[in-house]
Structure 1
Amino acid sequence: MTIDRDAFGLELLRIPRREHGPRLTFATDTNPDGSWTLIDVDRHAPADPRDRAICRALLLHALRLLDEAEQDQQ
């Protein structure tokens, strides 16, 4: 396997893309019909500026929680 050096600066083994598996999914506000638009943000950025801002804030919050959990384990 090759090393993917474009993965946010991490050296990750290049894994073939699959249609199923772990994903980071952002659900937009409710549509008029009561459904949500789901965006796999690890593959595509939301187009709407408001959705992008909310998604970015959620990702940053999740990263902060992960960092705190790692510090607690040390």
Structure 2
Amino acid sequence: MTPTTSAELARAGWRKSSHSGDEGACVEIATLPRVVGVRDSKDPGGPVLLFAPRAWESFAAAPPRR
């Protein structure tokens, strides 16, 4: 996976997950050309998890675990 710069992450179009509720436990994702970024919406300047697009697609398509 090609590294993504902090400038690319800052310019990314972050959006809140449709599975996040209003109680504050929210994640945001940004789809960039080479990676998908995931971060805590309450800490936009904090750490970002980076996934290869195929790995993210597999994760997002998996059924919820109970």
State the TM-score, normalized to the length of structure 2: 0.29
Relative contact order higher in (CA < 8 Å, ≥ 6 apart): 2
Identify, as 1 or 2, the structure richer in helix. Answer: 1
TM-score, normalized by length of structure 1? 0.27
Structure with bigger gyration radius: 1
